[in-house]
Amino acid sequence: MTEGSKTELKNAQVKLKIKLAAARLFQEQGFPATSMRELAQKVGLEASSLYNYIKSKDELLIEICTQHSQTFMRGLDEVLDSSASIEQKLTAIIEQHVILAFNDPSIVTVFNDEWKHLPLEVKSEFIKQRKHYENRILKLLESGMEEGTFQKLDPKICLYSFLSALKWVHYGYKPDKLDPKTVVKQISEFLLKGLMIRP
Amino acid sequence: MTEGSKTELKNAQVKLKIKLAAARLFQEQGFPATSMRELAQKVGLEASSLYNYIKSKDELLIEICTQHSQTFMRGLDEVLDSSASIEQKLTAIIEQHVILAFNDPSIVTVFNDEWKHLPLEVKSEFIKQRKHYENRILKLLESGMEEGTFQKLDPKICLYSFLSALKWVHYGYKPDKLDPKTVVKQISEFLLKGLMIRP
DNA sequence: CCTACCGATCGGTAGG
DNA sequence: CCTACCGATCGGTAGG
């Protein structure tokens, strides 16, 4: 390993540290309300020194959002390409969301709430990706309705309600120390079988 | 009617106009990213003139959030005090959320997403109110489980999933021109009976 | 309701 | 990696 690549490695580590601190601040205060001075303080640098590791404040948001977007996409590929039943696939999608929300709550929050502050160009690409992601799950719901596994309801309303229902795990109020596995099981039961008791 | 009260009436109208424009901007860009210059332009004034009608930028956010909080609370009182069955009460809560989201999407979005920018004092009161609101619905879920209407699941997970599932109606992507009544019916079916078909 | 303006803070750069 | 600093913009006020 040359001296040069060692430096690059170190730089990448510092950049990662900056990115994680940024995710936490963006989560707590939102992207526009977070200043580079504040971020610098969190990682023990002066504001101007940050620019040795990153290009701009925007870059941080872009990398957080797009990396997470790719993680989601890859996870969805894996689930949909499997030979599992439709019901199993849907449970796997729930599991994927919950585990990501447990592991990286800050990043998931930024991904969910702060994408609207992306620069215009990147934002429209982000929306396109998300639309694509949603459409693939929509197809899954529709085929489940066709094959008689799922109730015949408005697929889009189901889709949005389904995805929204998963969007609380990453927030502060984790119910009393529940482990991810239990949460997955309970949410799956709630979404697949409904609140009302079965006759 | 005196001249003075006429002026007050006019002032109140302008203030309302400012508040609605603010809600729309806060929704689109978030509270910190919205400038008073921008808001002034939307209502056809100079930035400094806004301060004849409002005290501060914070005041706008405070009034939007607390007014909506009170609307929610009053609606919940009405539902819970009625003699309806638990199932009917839950449907009525869904209906309340959906109708508010259809009528005032901007205000609902600000209420949901921008409350974290409230001044510290007001914010903790806001969180307290919301907690109270959540607890009353939690009790409803728990009593439904006890009396055998609802599945016995973790009540808090149900509560959060239930409330989250209602949080997409106010966003841009209204599925193709659906009317509120249909949305209420579909969401209720989805949440109460679940995705899987009944045996 | 506007013009003129304030101090503070922003993201980011130059230069070393 | 820091000191020193830039132009731009912020929320808000004075005074009329």
| B86-116 residue pLDDT tens | 999 999 999 999 999 999 999 999 999 999 9
Q: How confident is the model at residue B8 (pLDDT cuts 50, 70, 90)?
A: confident
Does the structure show a pLDDT above 70 at B173?
Answer: no
Say how far A58 CA is from C11 C1', in Å.
Answer: 10
Report if CB B106 to strand D is under 7 Å: no
3-class state of residue A196 by DSSP: strand
Q: Which residue of B has its CA nearest to A160?
A: B168
Tell me the percentage of chain B whose pLDDT exceeds 70. Answer: 95
Whether A154 sits inside 8 A of B186 (CB atoms) is yes
What distance in Å separates residue B1's CA from the closest CA in chain A? Answer: 45
Q: pLDDT band for position B1 (50/70/90)?
A: very low
Q: How far, in Å, CA of B179 to CA of A45, rounded?
A: 54
Helix (H, G, I), strand (E, B) or coil at A199: coil
Q: Is B150 within 8 Å of A196 when comparing Cβ atoms?
A: yes
Question: Is any atom of strand C within 7 angstroms of residue A56's beta carbon?
Answer: yes
Cβ atoms within 10 Å, residue B8: 11
- Residue A150 phi, psi (nearest 5): -105, 155
pLDDT at B7: 82
Q: Is the minimum distance from the CB of B7 to strand C below 7 Å? A: no
- Specify the 3-state DSSP secondary structure of A106: helix
pLDDT of residue B174: 66
Give me the pLDDT at residue A172, please: 64
| Statement: residue B3 has pLDDT above 60 | no
pLDDT along chain A (199 residues), means of 10: 69 96 97 98 97 98 97 97 97 97 96 97 97 97 97 96 95 76 97 91
Structure tokens at A59: 């870059």
Note the pLDDT of residue A1.
44
**If you search the block for the tokens 């408005």, which residue do you land on?**
A154
Considering only CB atoms, which chain B residues are within 8 Å of A117?
30, 33
How far is CA B71 from its chain centroid?
Answer: 8
CA distance A98 to A115: 20
| pLDDT at residue B180 is higher than 90 | yes
Interatomic separation, CA of residue A44 and C1' of nucleotide D9, rounded (Å): 27
pLDDT at residue B199, rounded to an integer? 73
The mean pLDDT of chain B is: 94
Residue in A117, A154, A193 nearest the CB of B151: A193
Looking at the predicted structure, is the pLDDT value of residue B27 above 80? yes
Closest residue to B153, CB basis, from A32, A154, A190: A190
Shortest Cα distance, chain A CAs vs residue B40, angstroms: 20
Pick from A67, A61, A73, A35: which is nearest to A120 by CA?
A: A61
Which one, of A152, A9, A165, lies nearest residue B169 by Cα? Answer: A165
Inter-chain touch B168–A187, beta carbons under 8 Å:
no
